[in-house]
Amino acid sequence: MNRSPRTLAGALVLTLGLLLSGCALNTEPTFRAGTAVAGGGTSKAAVGARTTYDVTPLLHPDKKYFGAALSDIPKSLAKTRTYQSTVGKAPNLLAFYASWGDAYDVSGVRRIFGYGALPYMAWEPYHTTLEAIADGRTDDYVRSVAQSVLSADVPVAISFGHEMNGDWYPWGRQAATADQFVRAWKHVHDIFQQVGATNVIWVWSPNNIYPAPKVKLKPYYPGDAYVDWVGVIGYYTVDGPRTFSVLFDPTFRQVRTFSKRPFLISETASEMSGRRLADVDDLFSGVQARPDVLGFIWFDIVKRADWRIERTPGPLADFKRRASNPVYGFDVRNP
């Protein structure tokens, strides 16, 4: 397009002004550390041409999360598509497990988000100690993961050191103190903030208190400024609680004495038995009855028992019927 001499002169003056002010025509995005916003959400953490993904709309959605943990995630979604076909609905929350030292699978989490689900990483601090993490001895690794999370540019829920109130993991109460856990959590969170990786939903995920009712949860809690969701873990087992209220409500009540953060049932399933049909129905009813429970993740993996819902036709039919309720599931790309 032709330009007049006056237009060209104006453009030269504008360009010179930009150069002199240090704002030359640089199209590379410039990032800065993000900050927490009121209510525990996270703000967009970048200036310039690009911002980090804003997770705020995902924190308190109008519908429930319909989640699954499957053995091939995040490297492949083949089993996820099979699971979707089996239960009649696409999961919108897909959980996977990462050990301390594992690289963050950028391609994998992008694949999950492209499918229409929120990636959920249970980050397990194997091969280290909470004291080492809190003291900064693993900072290079934490920073590299935070940078990868930022570069992925999709939201992710991260649960660090889940079931810390139990005694069956090397970061549990028998191996570390509550203070060490809190210090490690805050240190990891702070590094993510420094890097600008605010596209994270932080999930504090204790086991339900039924196995250890005398272990108080409050000393393990990092505080609302460091937590977005409380992800309670609980399984329906043959010799365990038979109802949602017995399995989860005592934990909910205890957490409500120190936090108002919403709950997620971050791991659950029913052991194969004659109770399974009732357990499935009870789980859906319990989640649906509580507005402060955002949804659940069904652990559809063989680990010490076969938790796969597809192995039992009767309970599967009920699972499929209950999952068809429009309250469960939504596309996280358009919450």
Q: What positions carry a catalytic annotation? A: 163, 267
CA–CA distance, 134 with 186 (Å, rounded to integer):
8
Token duo for residue 305: 């028992």
CA angle 41, 262, 118 (to 5 degrees): 65
CA–CA distance, 165 with 188 (Å, rounded to integer):
19
User: Of 15, 125, 90, 133, nearest to 330 (Cα)?
Assistant: 90
Tally of residues, the chain: 335
CA–CA distance, 216 with 222 (Å, rounded to integer):
14
User: Of 229, 288, 232, 244, nearest to 64 (Cα)?
Assistant: 288
Token duo for residue 297: 């993740």
Q: Rounded to 10 degrees, what is the CA torsion of 246, 248, 251, 254?
A: -80
Rg (CA), the chain: 23
- DSSP class of residue 46? E
- Strand intervals (E) in 211-331: 229-233, 263-268, 293-299
Task: Assess contact for 74 and 98: CB atoms under 8 A.
Answer: no
Parallel, antiparallel, or unpaired: how do β-strands 65-69 and 93-99 relate?
parallel
